Amino acid sequence: MPLGLALTASLGLAGAAVATAQDSPSAPKAADTFSYVVNTETDSDTVKRVEKEIASADGSVVETYDQIGVIVAHSANPDFGKTLRAVDGVDSAGATRTAPLTPAASTDIGKPEYVKAPKASAAANAKAKGEEPLESLQWDKRAIKADKASEISGGSGKVTVGVIDTGVDDTHPDLKANFASKQSANCVGGKADTSKGAWRPYTAEDYHGTHVAGIVAAPRNGVGVAGTAPGVKVSSIKVSEPDTSLFFAEAVVCAMVFAAENDVDITNNSYYVDPWLYACRDDADQKALVDSVSRAMTYARDKGTAHITSAGNDNQDLAAEEITDESSPNDSEPVTRTVDTENCVDMPTQLDGVTSVSATGPEKNLKSFYSNHGLGEIDVAGPGGDTRYQTPDAPAKNGGVLSTMPDGDYAYLQGTSMAGPNVAGVAALLKSQNPKATPQDINWMLKAQSKSVACPTDYDPDGEGTYAAECTGTDRDNSFYGHGIVDALKAVSK
């Protein structure tokens, strides 16, 4: 599920482990229809033969991504995964979920705080100052100098950021000018649907993707807010299940392949791949998920698509040898388990070749109380908000990040989900300035232009140890901020 307002798991996890990754209930145990990913060798003969084996095992093919050797299939056979894993040429196969249609509970850190449109006099005053009507409330843009950067360049309309999320309301008056419908799709279920509007959110409650899109690329058009890169395009690749807002592997695989083959330059990934907060390679089903998503992301990267990922909202040290996970699987009954981080990864933020982003709050630029961290795991930091312990001065007076919402609304949200798109916006500015830059180049440039931030001498926001965390590393590369907080002005300066 998204890594913004709704936390992916309880903050400050504690308690003794009662199950290991190997004990986790991965494989389906009932005769319901489940979705699977089957990872094969990529030659056409093998792929075709495996498709026949899928049919023989009482399965049906939903979509075949032969370019990466990933087949999405459905089956009600509880032994389907085991059967396919024994097939010659199959590298891994597993269920993408542990229950057919069970909703997941989420842990919120506050509901959206909606903002009314400014009065005509206030809007006119903002226009006179060369600002958007609600820009004075956007402390996050000032924190990374995006306001100053826009005086030089808002980015190129030839650059597109794909928002892989809950859908984007492209009818929003502050998004439609920069929306790229030809690079948008609905990938729920594992097969791309490009019909008009398929990429939109199901309801106004599925606001996450629309909020993310505005952070990236809301245009400077005299309406509402400004994006970090207000001149670039933004597309919507919807991957969230209806009702549950869960992001399953088959949808993410579809999204990555779609982005790669439709000239999306950068993907923003403010989510983790459900139902496992950490997917473990020593579990056959979970290994298949890691394999399929890794293949898809590598394929997109090799095609020129850079990936920006949000690090997560659990205040966990991603570099620790072991991490306690109490939230997985989140589509059925969670178990408490201790995960070995050599075998288990938070996807996609801990996969190879991504830019992983931690969140900072306003004014002091401290790590947000909820933000994950980890030496060698965080590449850069961006403003994601902190409404509990870092509240900005007037006029914003809200530690969240203000952006677009469905049906023409605006609201504050906080999370690494908000930090990620701020960084994606800076990445889009860098791509605009350097059209031939590869995804690896973008990653390096983001690190190089970031403003280094030293570890705080002590980090305990509430003074009671609830969100206490240890920052390790150097001033130029540490567990809280990676190589530093991104700088939009540097991104556009020659």
Q: From 389, 372, 258, 288, select the one nearest 325 (Cα to Cα).
A: 372
pLDDT for 474 beyond 80: yes
pLDDT for 9 beyond 60: no
Tens of pLDDT, residues 207-254:
999 999 999 999 999 999 999 999 999 999 999 999 889 999 999 999
Tens of pLDDT, residues 441-450:
999 999 999 9
Q: What is the pLDDT of residue 65?
A: 98
The CA distance from 373 to 357, in Å, is 9
Q: What is the pLDDT of residue 27?
A: 56
Considering only residues 23 and 307, tell me which one the structure prediction assigns the higher pLDDT. 307
Strand partners, 179: 234
Q: What is the pLDDT of residue 26?
A: 56
Domains of the chain: 6-16+105-492 (3.40.50.200), 27-95 (3.30.70.920)
Residue 172: pLDDT band (50, 70, 90) is: very high
H-helix segments, 144-273: 146-150, 208-217, 249-261
Q: What is the pLDDT of residue 14?
A: 27
State the average pLDDT over residues 387-391: 93
* CA-angle at 387, arms to 476 and 464, nearest 5°: 80
Q: What is the pLDDT of residue 2?
A: 67
State the average pLDDT over residues 358-370: 93
Residue 426: pLDDT band (50, 70, 90) is: very high
Distances in whole angstroms, Cα of residue 54 to Cα of each of 39, 82, 143, 350, 491: 12, 12, 52, 31, 49
The CA distance from 395 to 412, in Å, is 14
The CA distance from 473 to 181, in Å, is 43
Q: Would you give the distance in Å from CA 284 to the centre of its chain?
A: 25
Tens of pLDDT, residues 179-196:
999 999 999 999 999 999
Check: pTM over 0.85? Answer yes or no: yes
Q: What is the pLDDT of residue 1?
A: 62
Residue 386: pLDDT band (50, 70, 90) is: very high
Q: From 444, 442, 433, 440, select the one nearest 489 (Cα to Cα).
A: 433
pLDDT for 24 beyond 60: no
On average, the pLDDT of the chain sits at 91
The CA distance from 476 to 110, in Å, is 33
Tens of pLDDT, residues 279-326:
999 999 999 999 999 999 999 999 999 999 999 999 999 999 999 999
